[in-house]
Structure 1
Amino acid sequence: MVDIAKAIEPRSDQQNYDDYIAGPRTVTVEAVDQDKEGRASIHLIEYPGRPFKPSKTNLRLIAQAWGTESVQWNGRRMTLAGDPTVRFGGQQVGGIRVIALSHIEKAFTANLTTTRGKRAPYKVDVLPTEQPPPIPAFNTLADAHAYYRERQQAGATPHELAAIQAAAPKEADG
């Protein structure tokens, strides 16, 4: 199994919609800072040097769930997904949506402003707080396939499943 995720990553200094075309990714907050204009940058352990710069809608969702003291966000996880319906400047350009957060007791829906005078519901699911188990060493490709199916049925994130694929033996078992 060859994972081409690295090959299709766009060259950029931040996370963007193209990073999520292949599917959602679960990331871990390393730190949060702000620029001179007050725009937040959420630095991610998985993508050093390429922070997530959330829209106000995403930032409001995160703040509603985790509070406004961003230092408490460190170590928490979120699942981000590409949404082709995101609009900017009146045009549909695609963007990133927060779809799940760790450290929340239950899923919630927030009614947030989309455009002037218009609101829409945004649903945020619960992301399990615990980290996935370490990926074992596989002796055969069949072992890797079995473990992949087991973790998939247990609700593993796409990121974890991709890591399992990357750890699988490259040659078919005999």
Structure 2
Amino acid sequence: MDLTETITPKSDQLDAVDLQVSGPRTFTIESVSKGNREQPVNIRLVGLDRVWRPSKSMRRVLVSGWGPDGSKYAGKRLTLFCDEKVKYAGEEVGGIRISHMSDLAKAPLTTVLIVSRGKSTVYTVQRLTEAPQVTADMIAACTDEATLKQWWGSASPDLQPAIVARVEALRAGGEAG
């Protein structure tokens, strides 16, 4: 029995612990929308049923790499990971960071982030190279539902039904693609 579904947080957003368990994940941005005062940005990621709400530091990285217009982020890709050294209220609690971004004019991207009052650090993001084109053989061989969901966003329309069928087969416990 795969216990992955039993440890998924009941949350409407991507949490650092999700990436702590799965490791770094590369996503395609579907859309960016306005959030609330506390969390002002919602980024919908292809293949994920929850939004990512980037911290102020990661919003600074996004603006440094892609500019201030979030409506132009759709289709761009980034790799997110859990940085266990991220502090909140002086405690290391972990947080979501960006390691790679597509569509960078210059790479690596370096920007200065504020760590705490009066203290800053240089943060570096690498260029994300384009993913290989998804093929029917890749879909049939894949046994990871999260990967299949991620591929769905970049797959050609004729392969998307095969991805859906493969996810359904995996959920049913079958290995046939």
Give the TM-score taking structure 2 as reference length.
0.72
Q: Bigger shift: 126-135 or 53-62?
A: 126-135
- 1:8 corresponds to 2:7: yes
| Pair 1:18–1:36, CA change in 2 (3 A) | closer
Q: CA deviation at 1:119?
A: 0.7
| Pair 1:89–1:132, CA change in 2 (3 A) | farther
2:85 match? 85
Higher normalized contact order (CA 8 Å, seq sep 6+, divided by chain length): 1
- Please give the secondary structure, in 1, of the residue aligned with 2:57: helix
Q: Which amino acid aligns with 2:8?
A: E
Give the TM-score taking structure 1 as reference length.
0.73
Distance in 2 separating the partners of 1:134 and 1:11: 33
Alignment of 1:16-95 (within 5 A): 16-21=15-20, 22-37=22-37, 39-48=40-49, 50-95=50-95
Distance in 2 separating the partners of 1:63 and 1:14: 21
- Please give the secondary structure, in 2, of the residue aligned with 1:119: strand
Deviations 1:11-69, CA, capped at 9 Å, x for gaps: 21101111101200111111111124271111111112x11000010010011100011
1:119 match? 120
- Please give the secondary structure, in 2, of the residue aligned with 1:79: strand
Identity %: 31
1:96 match? 96
1:128 match? 129
Deviations 1:65-99, CA, capped at 9 Å, x for gaps: 00011111001111000111110111111110011
Distance in 2 separating the partners of 1:36 and 1:82: 23
Runs of 5+ consecutive residues of structure 1 not aligned to the other structure: 139-143, 148-157
Distance in 2 separating the partners of 1:19 and 1:98: 14
CA RMSD of aligned residues (A): 3.1
Deviations 1:88-130, CA, capped at 9 Å, x for gaps: 1111111100111111142222121111111112111111245
8 Å Cα contact 1:43-1:51 kept in structure 2: yes
- Please give the secondary structure, in 2, of the residue aligned with 1:12: coil
Q: CA deviation at 1:9?
A: 2.3
Distance in 2 separating the partners of 1:78 and 1:11: 24
| Pair 1:5–1:75, CA change in 2 (3 A) | farther
Distance in 2 separating the partners of 1:68 and 1:47: 24
